Structure 1
Amino acid sequence: MAQNPRTSESDTAPTTGRKPRLSRRNYVRSLATVAAATATAGVAGTTAADEKYETIPAENQSITVGDGETWENKLIDMTTGQDITINAQGSEWTIRNIGFQGKNVSGTGSATFGVADTGGTSTIENVYLGDGSDDRNATSHGYGQTAVWVNPIHSGHLDIKNVNIQSFADNAIYASAPGLPGKGGGGTVHIDSSFAANCYVSHYRLGSEGSKVTNSNVLINDDGYEGRGIWAWTPGTIKVEGCQLEMNGHHTAIDAGANGNATSVVVSETDYDKQAGIAEHAGSAVKLKDDVGTDPEASIPDGVPTSPEEAANGSGK
Structure 2
Amino acid sequence: MAQNPRSSETDTTPTADRNSGLHRRTYVRSLAAVVTAATSLGAAGTAAAQDEDDYEVIEAANQEITIEDGETWENKLFDMTTGQDVTITTLGSDWTIRNIGFEGENTSGAGSATFGISDAGGSSTIENVYLGDGSDDRNGSSTGHGQTAFWVNPDHAGHIDMQNVNIQGFADNAVYGSAPGNSGGGTIHIDSCFAANCHVSHFRLATEGSKVTNSAILVDEDGYAGRGIWAWAPGTIEIEDCQIEMNGNHTAIDAGANGQGTEVLVRDTDYDDQAGIVEHAGSSVQLEDDSGTDPEAFIPEGTPTSAEDAAAGDA
Q: TM-score band (shorter)?
A: 0.7 to 0.9
Q: TM-score, normalised by structure 2?
A: 0.88
| 1:221 positional shift | 1.3
Equivalences for residues 223-242 of structure 1 within 5 A: 223-242=222-241
**Aligned with 1:165 (options 143, 152, 167):** 167
Q: Which amino acid aligns with 2:185?
A: G
Residues 15-63 of structure 1: per-residue CA shift (max 9 Å, x gap): xxxxxxxxxxx8979767xx8x8517x9853122524110000000011
Question: Aligned in 2, Cα 1:235/1:83: closer, same or farther, shift over 3 Å?
Answer: same
Equivalences for residues 32-71 of structure 1 within 5 A: 38-39=18-19, 45-50=25-30, 51-71=53-73
Please list every run of 5 or more consecutive structure 1 residues that lacks an aligned counterpart in the other structure: 9-25
Residues 91-114 of structure 1: per-residue CA shift (max 9 Å, x gap): 100000000000000000100000
Number of residue equivalences = 292
Question: Aligned in 2, Cα 1:262/1:105: closer, same or farther, shift over 3 Å?
Answer: same
Is 2:112–2:141's contact at 8 Å kept on the other side of the alignment? no
- Percent identity at matched positions? 67
Q: TM-score, normalised by structure 1?
A: 0.87
**1:269 pairs with 2:271:** no
Is 2:259–2:281's contact at 8 Å kept on the other side of the alignment? yes
Question: Aligned in 2, Cα 1:105/1:174: closer, same or farther, shift over 3 Å?
Answer: same
Q: Which amino acid aligns with 2:252?
A: A
Question: Aligned in 2, Cα 1:109/1:31: closer, same or farther, shift over 3 Å?
Answer: farther
Q: Which amino acid aligns with 2:147?
A: Q
Equivalences for residues 275-314 of structure 1 within 5 A: 275-314=274-313
Aligned to 1:200: 199
Displacement over 6 Å in runs of 4+: 26-32
**Aligned with 2:81 (options 59, 79, 84):** 79
In the alignment, the residues of structure 2 paired with residue 219 and residue 5 of structure 1 have an alpha-carbon distance, to the nearest angstrom, of 25
Please list every run of 5 or more consecutive structure 2 residues that lacks an aligned counterpart in the other structure: 31-52
Aligned to 1:119: 121
Is 2:13–2:116's contact at 8 Å kept on the other side of the alignment? no
Structure with higher strand content: 2
Q: Output the aligned Cα RMSD.
A: 2.1
Is 2:6–2:143's contact at 8 Å kept on the other side of the alignment? no
Q: Which amino acid aligns with 1:65?
A: I
**Aligned with 1:108 (options 107, 110, 113):** 110
* The 10-residue stretch of structure 1 (140-149 or 155-164) with the greater mean CA deviation from structure 2: 140-149
Q: Which amino acid aligns with 1:285?
A: S
Is 2:18–2:67's contact at 8 Å kept on the other side of the alignment? no
| 1:193 positional shift | 0.1
Question: Aligned in 2, Cα 1:105/1:27: closer, same or farther, shift over 3 Å?
Answer: farther
